[in-house]
Structure 1
Amino acid sequence: MIRSFKNQVAAGAFVALSGFGIAANAETVLQLASVETPQTVWGQVAQKFADGVAEASGGDLKVQLALSGTTGSVRETLEALTIGTNDIVMTVVASLNAYDPLAAIESYPYLIRDEDHFNAVYNGEIGNDLFDALAKSSGLRLVGAGSRGPREMASKRAINSVDDLDGLKIRVPGIDVFRETWAGLGASPTPMSSKEVYTGLQSGIIDAVENPLSAHIRSKYYEAAEYVILTHHVYGAYTFVFDDARFQSLTDEQRTILQEQAKIAFQWGTEKAKLELADLRAKLEGLGARFIEPDLDGFRAKLAPMAAKFPELAPWVERIQAAK
Structure 2
Amino acid sequence: MSICFKKHTLAGATLMLSSVALPAHSETVLQLASVETPQTVWGQVAQKFADGVAEASGGDLEIELALSGTTGSVRETLEALAIGTNDIVMTVVASLNSYDPLAAIESYPYLIRDEDHFNTVYNGEIGAELFDVLAEKTGLRLVGAGSRGPREMASTRPINSVEDLAGLKIRVPGIDVFRATWETLGASPTPMSSGEVYTGLQSGIIDAVENPLSAHIRSKYYEAADYVIMTDHVYGAYTFVFDDARFHQLSDEEQTIVNEQAKIAMEWGTEQAKAELADLEKELEGFGAEFIRPDLSEFRAKLEPMAEKFPELEPWVKKIQAAN
Shift of 1:26: 6.0
Aligned with 2:148: secondary structure?
strand
Q: Please say which of residues 26-35 and 196-205 is displaced more in the overlay.
A: 26-35
Residue equivalent to 1:228: 228
Shift of 1:132: 0.2
**1:57 maps onto 2:66 in alignment:** no
Residue equivalent to 1:251: 251
Aligned with 1:6: secondary structure?
coil
The separation in 2 between residues aligned to 1:79 and 1:6, in whole angstroms, is 16
The separation in 1 between residues aligned to 2:166 and 2:296, in whole angstroms, is 15
Residue 258 of structure 2 aligns with an amino acid whose one-letter code is L
Residue 80 of structure 1 aligns with an amino acid whose one-letter code is A
**1:44 maps onto 2:31 in alignment:** no
Equivalent pair of 1:146/1:266 in contact (CA under 8 Å): yes
**1:196 maps onto 2:196 in alignment:** yes
State the Cα deviation string for residues 189-216 of structure 1 (Å, max 9, x = none). 0000100000000000000000000000
1:149-228 map, 5 Å: 149-228=149-228
Aligned with 1:69: secondary structure?
coil
Residue equivalent to 2:17: none
Aligned with 1:237: secondary structure?
strand
The separation in 1 between residues aligned to 2:61 and 2:280, in whole angstroms, is 36
Aligned with 1:257: secondary structure?
helix
Change (3 A) 1:26 1:202: closer
1:238-317 map, 5 Å: 238-317=238-317
Q: Share of identical aligned residues, percent?
A: 83
Residue equivalent to 1:31: 31
1:58-207 map, 5 Å: 58-207=58-207
Equivalent pair of 2:78/2:89 in contact (CA under 8 Å): yes
Residue 217 of structure 2 aligns with an amino acid whose one-letter code is I
Shift of 1:176: 0.2
Shift of 1:4: 9.0
TM-score, reference length from structure 2: 0.93
Unaligned residue ranges in structure 2 (runs of 5+)? 8-24
Shift of 1:5: 2.7
Q: Please say which of residues 25-34 and 156-165 is displaced more in the overlay.
A: 25-34
Aligned with 2:83: secondary structure?
coil
Change (3 A) 1:226 1:132: same
Aligned with 1:5: secondary structure?
coil
The separation in 2 between residues aligned to 1:301 and 1:98, in whole angstroms, is 29
Unaligned residue ranges in structure 1 (runs of 5+)? 8-24
Residue 205 of structure 1 aligns with an amino acid whose one-letter code is I
Aligned with 1:91: secondary structure?
strand
Shift of 1:27: 1.1
Q: Please say which of residues 26-35 and 253-262 is displaced more in the overlay.
A: 26-35
Equivalent pair of 1:155/1:208 in contact (CA under 8 Å): yes
**Runs of 4+ residues over 2 Å off in structure 1:** 3-7
Equivalent pair of 1:4/1:84 in contact (CA under 8 Å): no
The separation in 2 between residues aligned to 1:199 and 1:205, in whole angstroms, is 8
